Structure 1
Amino acid sequence: MIPRAELLKDILADLKMATSFVTILPMASSKPAGDGAVARAMWALPVAGLLVGLAGALTYKIAVRFGLTPSLAALLVLATTALITGALHEDGLADTADGLGGGRTRERKLEIMRDSRIGTYGVCALILSFGLRWSALATIANPWAVMLALCAAHVAARAGLPAFMWLVPSARPDGLSAGAGAPPGRSVAIAFALGTLALALTLGPGKALVGLILLSLAGLLLARLAIRQIGGQTGDILGAFEQTGEILILLVAASFQMGR
């Protein structure tokens, strides 16, 4: 049996590693990044997502307190979350759109996804991503409801990443995703449980179920596209999955808000 102090030390190290994996926050883990440590720490991705969501919620609260409209406050939220993550997921979404949409062969698609330049598909994907998330947050408007929606979106979108990495093989032997490795089943299960719990607590059982169904369908569709076109997933594909998850959960929150 692992001593309690050692267990807490491992949990803290995993939290720091997961946070550094998806944000630019200076979180130096006490664990070395090799030997599958990053993959084992993937269970903590939803917790890292919670930090990002809370930062966005705080930004919204301050903006509204200073008299800004919900639309402007929502725009500042997106700027804040993109800054904290280094626009990592947005970059992945754009590269995925360019690669899957523009390349004719597997090799060309992977080459495009590695290119730092952005193409038409990528620009359109980013416009849609920012536009849909901005519209959803502005529609929700109420600061408390915005906080719940942001936490739900950022937690759930990252909670599905370990399962996606576990189920879909890496498309190439190098890169961010390949370097992290496939998470063990335990990490996948914990992340999924944390994401489900967060959805239920923030949005309620009904909206949580709708969100889980949409996330699962989106994940299956993206996995099929990635496997058929490039043979598996990459770090860019993971970024696209995260962005899709954020969008879907925020839209679910906004649609139920409108229905009240």
Structure 2
Amino acid sequence: MGNFWNNIQLYFQFLTRVPINKNLNCEEKNFRNGIFAFVIVGGFLGIINYGILLIFKNTLPSIVIAGFLVLIPIMLTGGMQMDGIGDTCDGFFAFKEGGKERRIEIMKDSNVGTFAVIAIIWDMGMKLVLLNELIVMHKYWGVFMYMVLSRLGVMFSAKIAVRAKEHGTGNLYIENCTGKGIAIAVIITCGLATICGALVETVIIIPVILFVVWIFNSYCNKKIGGQTGDTLGATNEICELVALIVMVALAL
């Protein structure tokens, strides 16, 4: 049981800015055995968003609430996923020559390029619109579940990915994402969806996310020969948008 809580807290330390000021066991087996905690972290972020919605749904316009729902998770995660999609778009689209090594070098550069700015603005804008639609349609479960589903998508991606770099934070997940971990994460996801009364919608969304993850993984293989921490962050953002789009489509 000690290792169980250690591993969950380890993922919170790595994936969020939640202040867990503890020295935890941080070996590969801890990442491997706790990989399912991706969806638990997603559930935590979803609960925060759902709480914000409940507090303000009768006092603020839906578009303002949606703005908070976009911003708060970025603050809680330190913007890691936003950084990932920005760096990925800079590396993939801003340079046409030099091959894999040059693209990865651009992705590591701390400077922000035009494509990064475009990607981040578009990503946040789309989320604002889609979350507003869910609030207007009273599909409050979606405000919670899209966070869980996107992290499940990252796990799918890590499972089928190969390393684009010899060293990097992303390798921790790529090398330690197991079929058992994914199975546990799927069970947790479906359990949460059942509590929310949205199991059918979730069962529809998961295969769509799988398909999109497979396409993006293939694109990463073509561009840089695999995946990195940045592309896994980009995967999270893509899966969030896919989940929200399908939720809104199913609700229409």
**Length-normalised TM-score, structure 2:** 0.90
Q: 1:57 to 1:144 in 2, by over 3 A?
A: farther
Residue type of the alignment partner of 1:228: K
Q: What does the per-residue CA deviation read over 1:158-186, in whole Å, with 9 as the maximum and x for residues that have no partner? A: 12323321221111111211245332332
Bigger mean CA offset, 115-124 vs 175-184: 175-184
Structure 1 residue 205: deviation in Å?
Answer: 4.0
User: Which of 97, 100, 124 in structure 1 is aligned with 2:92?
Assistant: 100
Structure 1 residue 200: deviation in Å?
Answer: 5.2
Q: Which residue of 2 aligns with 1:155?
A: 148
Q: Which residue of 2 aligns with 1:250?
A: 244
Q: Establish whether residue 186 from structure 1 lines up as the match of residue 198 from structure 2.
A: no
Residue type of the alignment partner of 1:89: Q
User: Which of 96, 108, 111 in structure 2 is aligned with 1:117?
Assistant: 111
Distance 1:140 1:163 in 2: 26
Structure 1 residue 155: deviation in Å?
Answer: 0.7
User: Which of 1, 4, 7 in structure 2 is aligned with 1:14?
Assistant: 7
Residue type of the alignment partner of 2:69: V
Distance 2:158 2:133 in 1: 33
Residue type of the alignment partner of 1:54: I
Q: Establish whether residue 139 from structure 1 lines up as the match of residue 139 from structure 2.
A: no
Distance 1:90 1:25 in 2: 17
Structure 1 residue 63: deviation in Å?
Answer: 2.7
Q: Establish whether residue 33 from structure 1 lines up as the match of residue 15 from structure 2.
A: no
Q: What does the per-residue CA deviation read over 1:86-115, in whole Å, with 9 as the maximum and x for residues that have no partner? A: 111111011111111123311111011111
**Percent identity among equivalent residues?**
21
- Report SS of the residue matched to 2:34: helix
Residue type of the alignment partner of 2:2: K
Q: Which residue of 2 aligns with 1:223?
A: 217
User: Which of 71, 77, 85 in structure 2 is aligned with 1:85?
Assistant: 77
Structure 1 residue 85: deviation in Å?
Answer: 0.7
Is the CA contact 1:61–1:143 (under 8 Å) kept in the aligned structure 2? no
Is the CA contact 1:59–1:80 (under 8 Å) kept in the aligned structure 2? no
Distance 1:186 1:27 in 2: 27
Q: Which runs of 5+ in 2 are unaligned?
A: none
Is the CA contact 1:157–1:243 (under 8 Å) kept in the aligned structure 2? yes
Residue type of the alignment partner of 1:82: I
Distance 2:215 2:28 in 1: 31
Is the CA contact 1:226–1:237 (under 8 Å) kept in the aligned structure 2? yes
Q: Which runs of 5+ in 1 are unaligned?
A: 1-7
Structure 1 residue 251: deviation in Å?
Answer: 1.7
Distance 2:138 2:37 in 1: 25
Q: Which residue of 2 aligns with 1:3?
A: none
Distance 1:78 1:28 in 2: 26
Q: Which residue of 1 aligns with 2:235?
A: 241
Q: Which residue of 2 aligns with 1:5?
A: none
Q: 1:119 to 1:162 in 2, by over 3 A?
A: same
How many matched pairs? 249
Structure 1 residue 142: deviation in Å?
Answer: 5.2
Structure 1 residue 118: deviation in Å?
Answer: 1.6
Q: Which residue of 2 aligns with 1:176?
A: 169
Structure 1 residue 149: deviation in Å?
Answer: 0.8
Distance 1:200 1:251 in 2: 20
User: Which of 60, 68, 84 in structure 1 is aligned with 2:53?
Assistant: 60
Distance 1:39 1:115 in 2: 29
Distance 2:39 2:137 in 1: 22
Q: What does the per-residue CA deviation read over 1:70-99, in whole Å, with 9 as the maximum and x for residues that have no partner? A: 001100111111110111111101111111
Is the CA contact 1:17–1:29 (under 8 Å) kept in the aligned structure 2? no
Distance 1:64 1:242 in 2: 27
Q: 1:135 to 1:98 in 2, by over 3 A?
A: same
